[in-house]
């Protein structure tokens, strides 16, 4: 049975609507003020809420804001008078589904409800379908359920519809390019997405890569060649590692942004620059500006809208959903059927600090799945890029091959403790020793400061 919540201080109206909706088979809840309304809203999870804009005490738009903050369910129809139009539009922006004028006309209300319920059924159908596919890998999709990732998704939604320049900041492997592609996908999916990595191209070729060149413009320019700016057309130009752009090229690029046109190297003709610009960097451009390594005027042009992607260690809620997603992708690629990430593996994954971020996680899972044929990810196939400094030294060095047994033992215990996230019980199991023995060794080797029990 559909549930409807009425929040209006006009008691005669509420009574009429109550009778009307009961007659239509709805389960009806009603309140005369926002406080009581919110209480019923939380408790009953209505499908539809009719919410008066003018209420005593907390008004309807405030009640809506509270409900949206708390993620309360239901389509909200604002009930409004002509003079409250501004508040009503603000309510629509905050997520109300629609509005109706007072005095209420039951026929328009019926039409609106029917429309909402049809839309709702479609939405549910899509949700069911997307749940089924979420079992398998979706390419180019941003995965994660941390608040930080949700904020990034919201930022993307905010900028995708207009051609503003976006500066995407984040450590290596955090998903900057993925964010850029997602914005492009929503902005102009049928136009080209052209990426250029400013760090990967030697500086004397960079300008020709960006702007293109005419035949004979410089030694080796045998043919005319269009640059990335030209190829991007009306699509997206993604300047990756923009902090690596040499100062001289920065000046030229700034001019392109100001004049919206450019010339191929060795040409006089102007070409219009129509593409949307997205840039990414893992450097702190602001301090580069202070140090004189990046032009301030260009920086101001680029930072119109900034999306910061936090490192993976600051959003550990994303680790398991990402890991699951990579497993299902790699299952397909390698025709495997890995099903589970065991709990102890989850603990190790979330205790690690991921200097290589999401890319490192993906690589690690791929390696683990190649090394083991088991259907469950195995802990001893865990391989981290940031190995202990001692372990690094051990690689190939003569001196280290002659280390004492106790040094090796100390290093090994420290490594296992790190893998278990400091859990002594787990560590004892892996090491095959008792807890008192472990404690004694930790004492002897002076390890306790690094690990907690």
Ligand X SMILES: Nc1ncnc2c1ncn2[C@@H]1O[C@H](COP(=O)(O)OP(=O)(O)OP(=O)(O)O)[C@@H](O)[C@H]1O
C-alpha span between 276 and 184 (Å, rounded): 9
Identify residues 265-294 at the interface with ligand X (CB under 6 A).
Answer: 282
C-alpha span between 423 and 417 (Å, rounded): 7
The reply on whether position 363 binds ligand X by CB under 6 A is no
C-alpha span between 191 and 275 (Å, rounded): 9
Enumerate the H helices of 134-215 as residue ranges.
147-160, 176-187, 203-211
C-alpha span between 326 and 192 (Å, rounded): 27
Question: Is the N-terminal amide bond of 424 cis, ω within 30° of 0?
Answer: no
Around 145, how many Cα atoms within 13 Å sit in the side-chain half-sphere? 8
CB of 339 to Mg ion, least distance (A): 31
The reply on whether position 182 binds ligand X by CB under 6 A is no
Question: What's the distance, CA 304 to chain centroid?
Answer: 19
- If the CB atoms of residues 214 and 241 are measured against ligand X, the closer one turns out to be 241
- If the CB atoms of residues 117 and 195 are measured against Mg ion, the closer one turns out to be 195
Residues whose CB falls within 8 Å of the CB of residue 10, separated by 6 or more in sequence, listed in order: 52
Name which of Mg ion, ligand X, none residue 60 binds, using a CB cut-off of 5 to 8 Å depending on partner kind.
none
CB of 214 to Mg ion, least distance (A): 31
- If the CB atoms of residues 279 and 369 are measured against Mg ion, the closer one turns out to be 279
Among 173, 212, 227, 421, binds ligand X (CB under 6 A): 173
C-alpha span between 126 and 377 (Å, rounded): 32
CB of 227 to ligand X, least distance (A): 21
CB of 196 to Mg ion, least distance (A): 11
CB of 178 to ligand X, least distance (A): 4
The reply on whether position 177 binds Mg ion by CB under 5 A is yes
Stretch that binds ligand X, among 20-28, 165-173, 212-220, 298-306 (CB under 6 A): 165-173
CB of 364 to ligand X, least distance (A): 12
Nearest to 4 by CA among 16, 21, 19: 21
Nearest to 245 by CA among 301, 187, 304: 301
- If the CB atoms of residues 109 and 142 are measured against ligand X, the closer one turns out to be 142
Nearest to 358 by CA among 54, 187, 143: 143
- If the CB atoms of residues 48 and 168 are measured against ligand X, the closer one turns out to be 168
What is the largest distance, in Å, between two alpha-carbon atoms of the chain? 91
Stretch that binds ligand X, among 120-128, 168-176, 205-213, 330-338 (CB under 6 A): 168-176
Identify residues 121-150 at the interface with ligand X (CB under 6 A).
Answer: 142-144
Name which of Mg ion, ligand X, none residue 143 binds, using a CB cut-off of 5 to 8 Å depending on partner kind.
ligand X
**Interaction site with ligand X (CB under 6 A):** 142-144, 170, 172-178, 282, 322, 358-359, 362
**Interaction site with Mg ion (CB under 5 A):** 177
């Amino acid at each position: 049975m559909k549930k409807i919540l009425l929040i209006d201080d006009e008691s005669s109206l509420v009574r009429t609507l109550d009778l009307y909706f009961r007659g239509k088979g709805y389960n009806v809840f009603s309140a005369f003020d926002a406080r009581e309304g919110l209480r019923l809203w939380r408790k009953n999870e209505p499908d539809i809420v009719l919410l008066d804009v003018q209420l005593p005490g907390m008004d309807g738009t405030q009640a809506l804001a509270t409900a949206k903050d708390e993620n309360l369910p239901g389509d909200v129809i604002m009930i409004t008078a002509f003079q409250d139009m501004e508040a009503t539009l603000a309510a629509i922006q905050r997520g109300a589904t629609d509005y109706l004028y007072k005095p209420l006309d039951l026929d328009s209300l019926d039409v609106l409800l029917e429309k909402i319920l049809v839309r709702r059924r479609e939405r549910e159908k899509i949700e069911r379908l997307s749940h089924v596919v979420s079992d398998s890998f979706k390419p180019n999709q941003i995965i994660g359920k941390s608040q930080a990732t949700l904020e990034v998704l919201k930022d993307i939604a905010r900028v995708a519809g207009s051609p503003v320049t976006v500066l995407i900041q984040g450590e290596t492997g955090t998903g900057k390019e993925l964010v850029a592609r997602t914005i492009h996908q929503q902005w102009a999916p049928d136009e080209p997405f052209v990426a250029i990595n400013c760090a990967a191209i030697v500086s004397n070729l960079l300008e020709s890569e960006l702007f293109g060149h005419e035949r004979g413009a410089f030694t080796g320019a045998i043919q005319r060649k269009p640059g990335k700016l030209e190829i991007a057309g009306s699509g997206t130009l993604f300047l990756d590692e923009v902090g690596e752009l040499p100062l001289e090229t920065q000046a030229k690029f700034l001019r392109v942004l100001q004049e919206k046109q450019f010339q191929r190297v060795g040409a006089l003709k102007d070409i219009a620059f129509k593409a949307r610009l997205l840039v990414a960097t893992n450097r702190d451009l602001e301090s580069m500006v202070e140090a004189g390594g990046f032009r301030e005027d260009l920086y101001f042009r680029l930072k119109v809208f900034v999306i910061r992607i936090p490192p993976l260690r600051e959003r550990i809620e994303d680790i398991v959903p990402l890991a699951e997603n990579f497993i299902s992708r790699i299952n397909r690629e390698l025709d495997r059927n890995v099903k589970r990430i065991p709990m102890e593996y989850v603990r190790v994954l979330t205790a690690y600090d991921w200097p290589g971020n999401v890319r490192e996680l993906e690589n690690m899972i791929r390696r683990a799945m190649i090394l083991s044929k088991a259907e469950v990810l195995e802990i001893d196939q865990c391989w981290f890029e940031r190995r202990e400094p001692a372990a690094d030294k051990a690689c190939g060095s003569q001196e280290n091959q002659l280390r004492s047994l106790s040094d090796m033992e100390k290093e090994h215990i420290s490594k296992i403790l790190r893998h278990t996230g400091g859990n002594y019980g787990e560590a004892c199991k892996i090491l095959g020793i008792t807890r008192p023995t472990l404690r004694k060794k930790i004492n002897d080797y002076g390890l306790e400061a690094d690990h907690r029990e």
